[in-house]
Structure 1
Amino acid sequence: MNIRLQVSGISEGRVYLFNVYKNKQSVVDSTEVEVGGRIAFSRLEILETGEYTVILPDQTQIQLLLDGDQVFDMATLASDPVRNMKVTGSLENELLYKSLQFDLECRASFEALGAQIKMLAENGQDYSQLLDQQQQIFRARNNFQIGLIQQYPDALFSSLWQAEQLPRIDEPRMPDGSIDRQAQRMLLRDHFWDMVNFDDTRLLHTKVIFSNLITYLDELTPPVTSEVIRSIDLLMDRVGDKPEYYRFFAQWFAEDYKAPEGPFMDPEAIYIYMVDKYLTRERAFWADSVQVYAWQLRTEDKKQSLTGQKGQNIEAKDTSGNVRALYDIRSPYIALFFYHAGCDHCKKETPKLVEFYREWKDKGVEIYAVALGTEDAEWKAFINEYHMDWINVTDEGVSDIRDKYSFPGTPEIYLLNPDRVIIGKHLRTEYLAWMITNDMEKSAFAKQK
């Protein structure tokens, strides 16, 4: 690998070369700026094909694409690196900077027209003509990119650009002729990965796969456990015979995915689903039996308290030393509150829960609050400070609470219905009233059938 870059006008200092792998960036090389703004990255072995970034001393970033040919020259000006970039000896970077430079030209023209449009009345002829000119610029930009891709279909640049595009989909209509936005979003989810070439593992060394993944989950997947699982299945079905992608997605969903907060989310259910379906001995080809067993062992800890399962009984001592059993509570709904007296987040959530309780305790709601790892005096002081006049118990002498109810930290709120089925977990106080009302309405409707 021998990359020579000249940036005229650059200040002295250290320059870093970063690569991308999946969702992480790391330094692969560094060097000092030489006289005249010359920068050289050189080593005997070639680097992994993919997307790289050069970070200059002033934090300016210069994008690179590396393929098998890693001996080339680039030259530009520090004042405007993209517009002035010249590339010699690297097709990937010639394509990249042709695209970026044409994009700058189009953007300048588009914005100039936009400034004129702002000064015109919407129903005027000139207004419509300028809008049409903007559309022409957009089409010209798109056609330029497509032309490069058609000429060099195997280039990383081409694969990367296509993966960044949204698929073309139909516009489902409502009975009144308007676009059905919800149906459109679901249709886009179904086809979201159509433009990604999963045969091209080079894309794992770019930002696009992880960026697309976040868009797919955050913008196109409703924050409901069943919908997240459906999105997982749609994606995993596409990469079942693509080992590198299968491994990346399976591991990421199981180990790194942070499910959004919400009354309909059960992160533990998603983890268990991944392990049971995708991280088995037969399918997790990269993992040894010890790793597979570790995944399976974690599912056992989480299976006891999934949404839809019956909550388990807890027996613990209250402030008077009397044993209070969760199952002895007669109120139809129980909010289980796990907290620690020294926890700052607990101190913020507790007043909200107290206010909720005062409104709902006569409507069939009880709170069973479990103090975790808290000294007796501190626990009682906390209760008095926040006027917690519900059932208060401590976990002292009770070792199996976390075996019965899984949670990553405090505060934690579970909600149990009259059948003592878990209907919500990892909840914020503001969800409780809505969830209880919704469950009451569902129960009333079921009885009418």
Structure 2
Amino acid sequence: MRKLLSFLVLIALYSCGDPAGATSATTSGSSSGSSFTSAVSTAELEARELESPNIRVEIGGVPLQGALLIGQFAEQQFRADEAIVEGNAVVFKRDEPYKPGHYYCYFSDGAAVQLLIDQDQTFSLSAPTAQNALRDMKVEGSVENELFYELLKFEAGQQEDFRQLGDAVRSASPGSPEYEKLQADRKALVDQRLEYQNKLFAKHPKSLFTSFKRAGRNPQLRDVRLPDGTIDEQAQVAAFREDFWNDVDFNDIRLLNTPVIFNKLKRYIQELTPQNADAIIESSDKLISKVLDKPEFFKFFANWITLQYEPGKTTVMDGAAIHVHMIQNYFTKERAFWSDSMTVYGLQQRADQMAYSLVGQKGPDITVPDMNGTPRRLYDLKKPFIAVYMYNPECEHCIEETPKFVKVMNELKSELDVYAIALDTDQTKWKNFVKANGMSEWTNVYDPTNRSIFKTYYVDNTPELYLLNKDRVIVGKNLKVAQLKDAIRIAKEKE
């Protein structure tokens, strides 16, 4: 595969902090929903004086060698510090404060302890064993962690009840009296948990604990009904998506140093949003409109969504449309404050090229010289479908895929024309490749200047395969040869 255009420049834009020694670690942070009163603002956070940390963790039965403090920024986990050993405890101590957020203390045997770090960075956690840490954790000197472990203990106490109810619901017949009772019992448990959370939140509304745990809650399902009185599930899902971010305080930048923001973003875009370009663009715009005046959240959301739908990295049909939309709307010199003007200009140029060949648009009509030097116009081809096939004679994947394409074409030649464009080569290599692969029945073209195909069919990797229907609208791109028959079948079904 020949990579024709590098995207390292955009990766460089995504500079979310200074993680060093990234490591994998289990993350958490979820519950279930309501609205909030404002937590700590960015200005308040920046005005705070954080004390030099002295955090003592004593867990019975764990090895004391090699304990690490693992932090998180957005989706990146990083090594924040390494512990020293004092008696039976590991201690994290230094002059520079840790950034407020959610952390793990990892021991060399894989045991882990969660902790919240905010303004007060002198405290201790202790438990007789790692296995029973949620139940038996003792906290001294940190209200944040007292609240955190109080709630974790309460939620752990409910887990078995939730599990038993879940098993029983799956065994009951929907609509039966038994089923309805089990659902009511489950709702009562959820309400009990919410009431417990809300009591803790009310006591310390500006704590990191409250902001973190509140943000992780799911919104309550709205009671949306059809005219016949039954639940309108489609409208209910749409309302859930609409309410999904209600409990997140985008004024509180501490949340970016917890797993909750990344977990919610990934779920919102990849699970709650239909996986097509139009729906993802709509959801992305709605979310980003909430944070245009919240620089760090805006920066993270814009970069993550844009990178997620980079051509070649996504299975969403025409993910390039999402990618182009994000760059053209949010990676501008007015908005992309984290990047220099030349980088933004380069991204805009690239998006502009990609915008000419998105699924659903008319395929650009091009005229390129053939093997005899005769100009050949794409739109002069007459069959119901046209495959625009771009390749390089020395590209390994092109060498592998082209014979497969020739074989498939023998089955599709009554309804499919091929307009094959050679790229980044010379006349001799091009003609030898056409002859060696039996491509003589195709329309074979090559323009060494690339002028005739400039800003037309965007190529990220070769081979690149587009499919145009009878109206010469692009109905498939980034196709593999093996997908071509299905792409034609689907296009026919939509006519």
TM-score class, shorter-chain normalisation, is 0.7 to 0.9
Question: Residue 415 of structure 1: SS of its match in structure 2?
Answer: strand
Question: Residue 413 of structure 1: SS of its match in structure 2?
Answer: strand
- The residue identity in structure 1 corresponding to 2:363 is K
Match of 2:315 among 261, 271, 274: 261
Match of 2:368 among 301, 304, 315: 315
Range with greater deviation from structure 2 (38-47 or 133-142): 133-142
Indicate conservation of the 8 Å contact 1:75/1:86, yes or no. Answer: yes
**CA shift at 1:88, angstroms?**
0.9
Range with greater deviation from structure 2 (326-335 or 92-101): 326-335
Indicate conservation of the 8 Å contact 2:367/2:375, yes or no. Answer: no
1:110-161 per-residue CA deviation (whole Å, 9 max, x = no partner) reads 3356677889999998887666554433332232122211222111111112
Question: Residue 270 of structure 1: SS of its match in structure 2?
Answer: helix
Q: 1:390 to 1:10 in 2, by over 3 A?
A: farther
Q: Quick one: distance in 1 between partners of 2:213 and 2:477?
A: 41
Q: What is the TM-score of this pair, normalised by structure 2? A: 0.75
- The residue identity in structure 1 corresponding to 2:162 is F
Partner of residue 2, structure 1: 54
Q: Quick one: distance in 2 between partners of 1:223 and 1:42?
A: 46
1:210-247 per-residue CA deviation (whole Å, 9 max, x = no partner) reads 11111111112223322222112111211122222222
Partner of residue 296, structure 2: 244
**CA shift at 1:191, angstroms?**
2.4
**CA shift at 1:349, angstroms?**
6.1
Partner of residue 350, structure 2: 298
Indicate conservation of the 8 Å contact 1:316/1:398, yes or no. Answer: no
- Number of aligned pairs? 435
**CA shift at 1:285, angstroms?**
3.6
Q: 1:355 to 1:168 in 2, by over 3 A?
A: farther
Q: 1:297 to 1:121 in 2, by over 3 A?
A: closer
Structure 1 unmatched runs, 5+:
444-449
**CA shift at 1:6, angstroms?**
0.7
Q: 1:382 to 1:192 in 2, by over 3 A?
A: farther
1:365 aligns with 2:416: yes
Q: 1:8 to 1:122 in 2, by over 3 A?
A: same
Partner of residue 91, structure 2: 40
Partner of residue 457, structure 2: 405
Q: Quick one: distance in 2 between partners of 1:180 and 1:356?
A: 45
Q: 1:108 to 1:306 in 2, by over 3 A?
A: closer
Q: Quick one: distance in 1 between partners of 2:405 and 2:118?
A: 57
- The residue identity in structure 1 corresponding to 2:123 is F
Match of 1:186 among 219, 233, 238: 238
Q: 1:270 to 1:150 in 2, by over 3 A?
A: same
Q: Quick one: distance in 1 between partners of 2:440 and 2:146?
A: 71
1:42-71 per-residue CA deviation (whole Å, 9 max, x = no partner) reads 111211111112221012222111111111
Q: 1:373 to 1:280 in 2, by over 3 A?
A: closer
Question: Residue 82 of structure 1: SS of its match in structure 2?
Answer: helix
Indicate conservation of the 8 Å contact 1:372/1:394, yes or no. Answer: no
Question: Residue 41 of structure 1: SS of its match in structure 2?
Answer: strand
Question: Residue 93 of structure 1: SS of its match in structure 2?
Answer: helix
Range with greater deviation from structure 2 (18-27 or 407-416): 407-416
Question: Residue 194 of structure 2: SS of its match in structure 1?
Answer: helix
**CA shift at 1:249, angstroms?**
2.0
Partner of residue 446, structure 1: none
Structure with the greater relative contact order (CA < 8 A, sep ≥ 6): 1 or 2? 2
Range with greater deviation from structure 2 (70-79 or 400-409): 400-409
1:85 aligns with 2:132: no
Q: Quick one: distance in 2 between partners of 1:130 and 1:418?
A: 56
Indicate conservation of the 8 Å contact 2:57/2:91, yes or no. Answer: yes
Indicate conservation of the 8 Å contact 2:84/2:92, yes or no. Answer: no
Q: 1:373 to 1:295 in 2, by over 3 A?
A: closer
**CA shift at 1:255, angstroms?**
4.1
1:263-288 per-residue CA deviation (whole Å, 9 max, x = no partner) reads 4x241x33332333323333334444
**CA shift at 1:332, angstroms?**
2.7
Partner of residue 16, structure 2: none
Range with greater deviation from structure 2 (388-397 or 80-89): 388-397
- The residue identity in structure 2 corresponding to 1:87 is V
Indicate conservation of the 8 Å contact 1:266/1:425, yes or no. Answer: no
**CA shift at 1:344, angstroms?**
7.0
1:165 aligns with 2:220: no
Indicate conservation of the 8 Å contact 1:14/1:33, yes or no. Answer: no
The Cα RMSD (Å) is 3.6
Range with greater deviation from structure 2 (269-278 or 196-205): 269-278
Q: Quick one: distance in 2 between partners of 1:315 and 1:246?
A: 43
Indicate conservation of the 8 Å contact 1:23/1:210, yes or no. Answer: yes
1:51 aligns with 2:102: yes
Q: Quick one: distance in 2 between partners of 1:417 and 1:148?
A: 60
Structure 2 unmatched runs, 5+:
1-52
**CA shift at 1:21, angstroms?**
0.9
- The residue identity in structure 2 corresponding to 1:383 is N
Range with greater deviation from structure 2 (400-409 or 151-160): 400-409
Q: What is the TM-score of this pair, normalised by structure 1? A: 0.82
Match of 1:109 among 161, 175, 180: 161
Partner of residue 383, structure 1: 437
1:19 aligns with 2:71: yes
- The residue identity in structure 2 corresponding to 1:182 is Q
Q: 1:9 to 1:361 in 2, by over 3 A?
A: same
Q: Quick one: distance in 1 between partners of 2:374 and 2:354?
A: 29
Range with greater deviation from structure 2 (105-114 or 87-96): 105-114
1:152 aligns with 2:204: yes
